[in-house]
Chain A
Amino acid sequence: MNITEFLFNILIFPGFLFLLALALGLDWLDRKLIARFQGRVGPPWYQPWADLLKLFAKEDILPAGTNVVFTSLLPLLSFASVMTALFYIPIAFRRVPSFQGDFIVIMFLLSVPSLLYFLAGWATKGVYSIIGGNRSLLQYFSYEVLFLLAISGTIITSNSWSIEGIRQAQFEQGAFILPQIFGFLLALSGLIGKLKRGPLDIPKANSEVIAGPLTEFSGKKLALWILTNELQTVAGLSLLIYCYFGNLWQMNKLSGFLIFSVLLVLMQCLLSAISAMYARLRIDQLIRLNWYLLIPLSLLHNLYLIIK
């Protein structure tokens, strides 16, 4: 691989620019769909681009007494960890380096932003930021467990801790989506918590805690946080598609790309519909629902898969 090809790969096609377009496109789809579900017109297609550009060109102020270096590092680190996770997830029809245990690496990298989100609340010292940060940590302890338990059904069946192994197993046994539809739905509800989407947008609930940990952020830092969240949506949805529809996946082929896009759009429609349909849960309701109902269910599901 020569240097121009390398730069092209990093910056344009499977790299930064493509991911940016994908993430912002999905964000627009989400906002448009929710608007249509509510009987509104919704924003034009360029809306997320305009929002981001405007935020990057705005003044950046922080409350007095905050540590500027620390607060600037938080959004940068979370952005970097999501981008690194995306490097190991086969977006579109790209081939990625795969090794035993890369699944765990991806899960870890995807959960780093949630922890930094909590720290962002503490670092900016606002009352609402701190409450939002605490809520995000509480939420983290419930959905993260659920997401990992639910998605590990695919690991148990394919007997491999690598993304490539899960794909190979699906070529032999067929896609996991039908035999494990139950695990898929559980993983999807975990993902909603991870992305802090409605009905689980408890840490940034507008009418309760203003904007949660991001209340005191403005300008470039806010833009990076928003971008991180959008990229996380792409990463989470691609991971789900990859783990449950793996056999549809043809590497380095146009049909693979088309299948990926269609599945991605369908999953985004599902997420938007869920956000538009359900009202926000209270934090104690969420934790009770997760630990009393969904996590035991996913444990039972895994037990069934092991016995079978």
Chain B
Amino acid sequence: MINKSKTPKIISWARKKSPWILHFNTGGCNGCDIEILSLLTPYYDVERFGILKESTPRHADILVCTGPVTRQVKTRLLRIYNQMPAPKWVLAVGSCSCSGGVFSGSYNILGGIDQVLPVDMYITGCPCRPEAIIDGIIKLLEEVK
């Protein structure tokens, strides 16, 4: 999403070391949200990787979405995505947000997050384990230039 040839080394280092996430539920069952929140507890403590959970899209680098995209939430999801300053990445957490999961085929959903936004990393599981989310974020950051 960003021009890879131009970024100085120190900036890409800083981007790797300080991913601030914004958590958005696009219509899931709340199972994955609880797993994401458990990342902040002492047991998993993601602040050791510099990950902070921000509450406004303006401060965030990574949009962490859970659940399938419902017809109602689509415009809000796009709006939140547009409010984030570049460079930004999207993480689809849970089977629902990867493909629609147990909700796929339902009349009121559009499918996974990739129906609406460009997704950079998919993390499956219903709900996915916190270890898997950490692994996904770290693998995403390895791609960051």
Residue numbers of A with Cβ under 8 A of B are 31, 35, 38-44, 46-47, 49-54, 57-61, 128, 206-207, 210-211, 214-219, 222
* Interface residue from A47, A207, A219 paired with B50 (Cβ < 8 Å): A47
Check if A210 sits within 8 Å of B85, measured CB to CB: no
Check if B47 sits within 8 Å of A41, measured CB to CB: yes
Interface residues of B in 53-93 (CB under 8 A from A): 54-56, 58-59, 61, 83, 85-87
Residue of A with least CB distance to B60:
A218
Instruction: Pick from A44, A52, A54 the residue with the most CB of B within 10 Å.
Output: A54
Smallest beta-carbon distance A72→chain B, Å: 15
Between-chain CB contacts (< 8 Å), 15 pairs: A39-B42, A46-B17, A47-B18, A50-B13, A50-B17, A53-B11, A53-B14, A57-B14, A59-B86, A128-B56, A211-B54, A218-B59, A218-B85, A219-B85, A222-B58
Check if B48 sits within 8 Å of A41, measured CB to CB: yes
Check if A47 sits within 8 Å of B85, measured CB to CB: no
Residue of B with least CB distance to A38:
B42
Main secondary structure of the interface of A (DSSP, over half): loop
Residues of A within 8 A of B135 (CB): none
The answer for the CA separation of A74 and B16 in the assembled complex, in Å, is 29
* Interface residue from B18, B45, B86 paired with A41 (Cβ < 8 Å): B45
Given contacts A58-B87, A219-B85, A50 and B14 within 8 Å (CB-CB): yes
Check if B85 sits within 8 Å of A60, measured CB to CB: yes
Smallest beta-carbon distance B70→chain A, Å: 23
Q: A35-B45, A43-B47, A57-B11 are in contact. List 16 more A-B contacts (CB 8 A).
A: A40-B47, A41-B45, A41-B47, A44-B48, A51-B18, A54-B11, A54-B18, A57-B7, A58-B85, A59-B85, A60-B85, A61-B83, A211-B54, A214-B59, A216-B58, A218-B85
Instruction: Determine whether B129 belongs to the interface, using a CB cutoff of 8 Å to chain A.
Output: no
Number of B positions contacting A (CB below 8 A): 23
Smallest beta-carbon distance A208→chain B, Å: 10
Given contacts A50-B17, A57-B15, A58-B86, A42 and B47 within 8 Å (CB-CB): yes
Instruction: Determine whether B10 belongs to the interface, using a CB cutoff of 8 Å to chain A.
Output: yes
Check if B50 sits within 8 Å of A51, measured CB to CB: yes
Check if A210 sits within 8 Å of B56, measured CB to CB: yes
Given contacts A210-B56, A211-B55, A222-B58, A50 and B18 within 8 Å (CB-CB): yes
* Interface residue from A39, A41, A42, A61 paired with B85 (Cβ < 8 Å): A61
Smallest beta-carbon distance A207→chain B, Å: 8
* Interface residue from A35, A61, A215 paired with B56 (Cβ < 8 Å): A215
Residue of B with least CB distance to A124:
B58
* Interface residue from A52, A54, A206, A217 paired with B15 (Cβ < 8 Å): A54
The answer for the CA separation of A59 and B7 in the assembled complex, in Å, is 13
Residues of B within 8 A of A210 (CB): 55-56
Residue of B with least CB distance to A31:
B47
Residues of B within 8 A of A61 (CB): 58, 83, 85
Residues of A within 8 A of B42 (CB): 38-40
Residue of B with least CB distance to A60:
B85
The answer for the CA separation of A44 and B75 in the assembled complex, in Å, is 38
The answer for the CA separation of A296 and B125 in the assembled complex, in Å, is 59
Residues of B within 8 A of A43 (CB): 47-48, 50
Check if A50 sits within 8 Å of B85, measured CB to CB: no
Residue of B with least CB distance to A53:
B14
Check if B50 sits within 8 Å of A222, measured CB to CB: no
Smallest beta-carbon distance A272→chain B, Å: 14
Smallest beta-carbon distance B82→chain A, Å: 9
Smallest beta-carbon distance A91→chain B, Å: 26
Smallest beta-carbon distance B137→chain A, Å: 15
